[in-house]
Amino acid sequence: MAQIRVLPESIANQIAAGEVVERPASIVKELVENAIDAGAQHIDIEIEQGGLEYIAVSDDGRGMNAEDAELAFERHATSKLRTAEDLFCITSLGFRGEALPSIASVASVQLITREPTSAVGHKVTLRGGQQLHSTPWGAPPGTRIEVRDLFYNTPARHKFLKSPVAEAGRVRDLVAKLALANPHIAFRLSQDGRIVLETPGNAKLDDAVLAIYGRDVVEQMIAVERQTPEVGISGLISRPELTRNNRRDQVFIINGRLVQCRALSVVLQEAYRSLLPSGRHALAFLNLTLPPNRVDVNVHPAKIEVRLSEERQIAAIVLRTLRDTLQQEATMAAAAATRWPSSASTTPEKGSTAPPMWLESPRETGNLTPATPSGQRPMVPISFYRHKEPTPPAIAEPAKPLVIEPEPKPSTPPYRLLGQALASYIVIEREEGLWIVDQHAAHERIIYEQLVNRPEKRMVNQLLVPYTLTVGGREAAVLENAQEELAALGFEVAHFGGNTWALRSLPSVYRGRFKPEEFLDLLADWTDGWEGLKADEKRERVLIRLACAGAIKAGQRLHNAEMIELLDQLWQCKLPFTCPHGRPIALQFSSEQLFRLFHP
């Protein structure tokens, strides 16, 4: 008896669906791309429970007649290819004829469609790939496809999905990127009956960015435009001041197709190489136009990966364009600074007797520096050495600064302060030898132990003028479902509508040095790296981040009194030799070690 068998069509369809339909966002992508190919000017997307229970995509495109409506669910049935040669000059987003049959094989699907020239439309209903009904139906011009009970017949696939909140965030991110790739189309996304994203569809990329990211982001973007015989380049990239801790806001479009292209990601990173700190990434919405025969889109069934002919040449042109754009922006900024000099310099003139910035008096810092509890030595307020501080937010309720109240422990071991090295390290002499203490790591440990061990001492600053933040889909999902957790950590947020949120309070460890990007980075980590963590594990990571944000920075000069106070409090910590990240706080050199260094 033969061991090789032809699989039933239902099983073959489910296997094919595994390559195309990975999660609700995959379905939304396929249906929206079909709507774009149909010439839609308005596309509405609706999801419930993150798309696990319900997805609907409606458009005002060309629609289909009854025959095409039924054929659309046949495998490899497509209107976009006629010959093998067409495969090498594809201009449509879809062409394989696999999406609809794959979706229908793992869900319940209803299609309602009508051509603008027809008096009546048509409805087709399927479940598990089997057609249940096909009948004439009244409908507006265009197409509406509804998907219910995703993976009802493949429970193993269902187990690999994330929570409804996480899946909804993925859908929102995807729709945002599709809207940026197609600014001429008006998109609207509704989640559980509430509109969460809407773009104008006026063909202006900056207006689409405004609708999705908000004014603070769009005002920090630079237009990119270049046309060469090989490639057309257009879009927006961020100024070096606007960064993220991930690449999620880097959107690449090739011939109208949203793609993943490692070559373009590397080029973007190289363009900003000398402009951004390590671990930070620019925002970019770049559109490349190439001859269709130079782009191979038939790489993967999901059609998100592409191959480019003469990739190095194209990458070099893009890199040169980005560098030229950034250089021109820097030149214009320098010229503006020359025309409009600041009224006062923050750097004291040579020979000046002005006190150092790190010795600011409490009176000058106003509400941000309250009295110190009795029985403790006050810690001299610390500010960045010769660096301009961010403008502190308006505080509604004065909060006490972060004052470490250590539990009683043995007295501080005797030591002699030698001074500060490189504005980053405290050098002391103890009986056992020479110690070099990392001031940032030491202060980080002090703050962290108070936040963990003395939660009642965590101070919160209520802001008179809240920060307004425009967030992406996944971050919005976190804010909607973790407001209590965030409030317990000092971040009180409120929804302003759409993707805009208000941040009404901050942990006092920031002491006026808060930057909105820090909160956005926290949300990004919450959605990406922390999704599977328990609540107490997330809390610990946030406290580590807060300790790092509130700690003295490397390069910050300290007065002797500050260094002594820092060391005295460090010795009171339970773990005084490692920072919360696990890095060493101090290095010790015995007299024997020092002798051997000079007498090898």
DSSP result, 102-116: HHHHTSEEEEEEE-T
Pairwise CA distance, residues 214 & 470, whole Å: 5
Statement to judge: residues 48 and 185 lie in one domain = yes
Query: Which amino acid, one-letter code, is at 305?
Result: E
Please indicate, yes or no, if residue 3 is contained in any of the structural domains.
no
Pairwise CA distance, residues 207 & 209, whole Å: 5
Domain end position, chosen among 311, 330, 349:
330
Statement to judge: residues 48 and 15 lie in one domain = yes
Please indicate, yes or no, if residue 349 is contained in any of the structural domains.
no
Residue position matching structure tokens 């937010």: 393
Domain end position, chosen among 275, 300, 330:
330
Statement to judge: residues 196 and 234 lie in one domain = no
Strands 493-497 and 460-470: unpaired
Query: What's this model's pTM, rounded to 2 decimal places?
Result: 0.73
Burial 270-305 (b: 16+ CB within 10 A, else e): ebbeeebeeebbbbbbbbbebeeebbebeeebbbee
What's the CATH code of the domain at 541? Answer: 3.30.1540.20
Task: State the chain's maximal CA–CA distance in angstroms.
Answer: 99
Please indicate, yes or no, if residue 80 is contained in any of the structural domains.
yes
Statement to judge: residues 314 and 414 lie in one domain = no
Pairwise CA distance, residues 187 & 199, whole Å: 5
Per-residue pLDDT of the chain (600 residues; tens, 9 = 90+): 677 877 777 777 666 666 678 899 999 999 999 999 999 999 999 999 999 999 999 999 999 999 999 999 988 777 666 666 666 667 778 766 788 999 999 999 999 999 999 999 999 999 999 999 999 999 999 999 999 999 998 888 888 898 898 899 999 999 999 999 999 999 999 999 999 999 999 999 999 999 999 888 999 999 999 999 999 999 999 999 899 989 999 999 999 999 988 899 999 999 998 898 888 999 999 999 999 888 887 676 666 788 888 889 999 999 999 999 999 988 877 666 555 444 333 344 444 333 333 333 332 333 333 333 434 433 333 333 233 344 555 555 444 444 444 444 456 678 999 999 999 999 999 988 999 999 999 999 999 999 998 776 678 889 999 999 888 888 888 898 889 989 988 999 999 887 889 999 999 888 777 888 889 888 888 877 677 778 888 889 999 999 998 999 999 999 999 999 999 999 999 889 999 998 999 999 999 999 999 998
Expressed as residue numbers, the domain containing 427 is 377-600
Please indicate, yes or no, if residue 346 is contained in any of the structural domains.
no
Statement to judge: residues 57 and 162 lie in one domain = yes
Please indicate, yes or no, if residue 365 is contained in any of the structural domains.
no
Structure-block tokens of residue 70: 């039924």
What's the CATH code of the domain at 252? Answer: 3.30.230.10
For residue 146, the cross-strand partners are 56, 110
Vertex 74: Cα angle to 69 and 80 (nearest 5): 75
Please indicate, yes or no, if residue 343 is contained in any of the structural domains.
no
Statement to judge: residues 68 and 166 lie in one domain = yes
